[in-house]
Amino acid sequence: MSLIMRVLALDTATQACTLALWEGAGVRARYEIQPRAHNRHILAMLQDVLDGQPLRDSVDLIACGTGPGSFTGLRVAVSVAQGLAWSQDLPVQGFCSLTAQVFSAADSGALTDGIYVLTTIDAQTDQLYGLWGRLCDGHFAPEGEPFVCSPEHVPEPDEMGRTVVLGSGGSYLSRFPNWLRNGSRIDVEVTPRAEVMARLYGNGQLPVESFPAHRLSPQYVQREIGWKKLSEQGQHG
């Protein structure tokens, strides 16, 4: 596909509901912390970023965060992306929400080149989703695949230097292994941001490997989860 100038991006894998439209000259974005309420807000946010323009005249590609993350949140993002893409015969681009967090942190200047990154999302089941990688020349190089585990069993990478832990999984800091807890910087506030992903795809900084809407699917990582009631999901750390 040729260079995409108009990209609609969305992600609801975390507590953040984020949606943005990149049009080459700029970006219109909405970002709200809406735990367990993404489905009630995302369509209104879409209307805001389209700013009265018909979808068919505004978008060339729909980029969607596919997780891992909240089961319900992933289904919201994927179903909205599929519905929009099917209605206008638009291609879609899936992206890993854990990777999107790294690009969000890098865009804000929170990461330095060469640093090792553990990007995480709290799985809300006394576990976390995670992905190891390294930031090199503005690009994130993942090491391995996304995983899910208890905080005590975060896998140790083959190589490790200066390290930052990104995302809500960092709230388990006190339960991390000593090798990770000692000397690592923690930033639990980082979430995916749609405006960053829309811009990176729109200006060609990330490769586009688009496909039809029916091939878009959530990245659950773990199929069997011991669910907890809301009253049982206390504070961590």
Q: Say yes or no to pLDDT of 23 above 70.
A: yes
pLDDT at residue 96 is higher than 90: yes
Mean of the pLDDT values across residues 102-121?
96
Give the chain's domains with CATH numbers: 7-96+191-232 (3.30.420.40), 98-187 (3.30.420.40)
How many residues belong to the chain? 237
Yes or no: say if 68 and 148 are a contact pair by the CB < 8 Å rule. Answer: yes
pLDDT in tens, 187-235: 999 999 999 999 999 999 999 999 999 999 999 886 444 333 333 434 4
25 falls in which pLDDT band (50, 70, 90)? confident
